[in-house]
Chains A and B, each alone.
Chain A
Amino acid sequence: MKRKRVLVTLTAITALVFIIITISYGYWTDQLTISGEAIFEIELPIVNDRPAQEEELIEGTEEPAEEELDSMRRPATDDNQIVEPETEDRQAGESNTNSEINDPDADSPNTGYDQAAYGPTTAEEDLSEDTEIADSQTDDAPEASQEAEDKDN
């Protein structure tokens, strides 16, 4: 019991001494603060990889088109009913839009696929033009052949 009382007394005295020292130190010193925000800037180069991606995309679509072209050519040579002369004339009529169309090796299904790769809107517009041209050419074609026969005669 006596030992406990001594311990409590010692603790109380120590705490009191610390409080006195702290208060004294507070009187003898002063604390101020400098705070702030510094702005740092950095400039980094950016690689524009977007056009490259588009090219890859187009190239990626052209490869299967060639394969598809070959697969479509084969039945066309086997069965002449698939390729109609009117269609060839129609493709020749839009030579200003696609150079591949003038390629003698190129057949009618190929041109349609390539145009679709540039966008459905363009393809639809071209398609509507094609039908007009095709209609006019189909009307003109018998007349031209009759004229040729007349000349021969």
Chain B
Amino acid sequence: MKKIFNRVGLLLLAVVAVGMLGVSYAAYTDFLTVETDLTTGSMDFEFHDIGGEGGAIIGIMGKNGRIKKLDADIEYDGKTLRITDMEAIPMSMLEDGDMELHIRYAVKATEDQSILRAATIDERDQVRSIIGVIPFKLTTRTPKWSIEGDSISFGSGTSGLGRTPEIIYDSLPEDLGDFRVHHTLIINERKNLMQGTIVLEQTEPCTLLPEGHLSLSDFDLPEEMYDEIGDETNLRLSLQGCYGFEIPLVLDQFNVK
């Protein structure tokens, strides 16, 4: 009896007891392993060319509620999307103060390791969908102009006119007022990219016409040009001004679904 409870015996007994405890515990429980990579990877998106994929890149909302596509050159330069050579918009559309410009774009992650999606922005989310207010400012000092009549037409580029008449500069407004910017962003699962829409909404009517009538004598044209115009009465001044805008887009990954 004394031999059984010697040191070696007690040690073996303890090992067996612990082993039996383990077996009993295992019988009552089960282990499942979950492996996960938790990452706070950096966001790195670039604009993606969606030309010809589902409609217009830039358009204007017509009076009938439909968006009319505007021809323009779109340059994709990494994190910058630049719209140039846009089809001319009649300034009369600004007089009511409800003009809307729509811009569609798409962004894609540059690398697979980075975050693939940004947080979506719903149009109902008034806080996140309104970016702010941006101005449309005259960018080119010398506008494109022409005077047209029934039998005569001359203007920018016509030789012998000399300098551009001062009244041309005075006839174009320096800015077109402020536009409120609305932003929505959704996921396109099929193409594995994010599609956004920017709506530039005019905040107030724009006063365009200069006070009083434009008189031909105010143009200070060369005498030969006046002789050429003669007594033509149906004269019109056509002016084209270039107005620049810049919209910052901040994408985040908070609450990404």
Q: Which residues of A contact B (CB under 8 A)?
A: 26-51, 53
Contact = CB atoms under 8 A, between A and B. Distances in A.
Given A39-B88, A42-B241, 19 more contacts: A28-B43, A28-B253, A28-B254, A30-B43, A31-B79, A32-B249, A34-B246, A34-B249, A35-B83, A37-B83, A40-B94, A40-B243, A41-B238, A42-B171, A45-B237, A46-B147, A46-B216, A47-B215, A48-B233
A41 B176 CA distance: 12
15 contacts: A29-B251, A30-B43, A32-B249, A32-B251, A33-B79, A33-B81, A34-B103, A34-B247, A36-B83, A37-B84, A38-B242, A44-B210, A44-B237, A47-B213, A48-B232
Contacts of B249: 31-34
Interface of B: 40-47, 58, 72, 79-92, 94, 101, 103, 105, 107, 118, 136, 139, 147, 171-172, 176, 198, 208-210, 213-217, 226, 229-233, 235-254
Nearest to A42: B91
Contacts of A39: 85-89, 240-243
A24 to B, nearest CB: 8
Contacts of A44: 171, 209-210, 214, 236-237, 239
A47 B149 CA distance: 11
A42 to B, nearest CB: 4
A41 B93 CA distance: 10
Contact of A31 (B172, B226, B243, B250): B250
A15 to B, nearest CB: 23
B118 A30 contact: yes
Contacts of B243: 37-40
A44 B232 CA distance: 16
A34 B247 CA distance: 5
Given A27-B42, A35-B245, A43 B79 contact: no
B89 A38 contact: yes
Given A39-B240, A46-B147, A33 B80 contact: yes
Given A33-B81, A45-B213, A38 B136 contact: yes
A115 to B, nearest CB: 21
Contact of B82 (A31, A35, A47): A35
A38 B80 contact: no
Given A31-B248, A41-B90, A46-B147, A36 B239 contact: no
Contacts of B81: 32-35
A34 B82 CA distance: 6
Given A45-B214, A45-B236, A30 B88 contact: no
Contact of B215 (A29, A46, A51): A46
B43 A29 contact: yes
A37 B83 CA distance: 6
Nearest to B90: A41
Given A29-B253, A32-B45, A45 B235 contact: yes
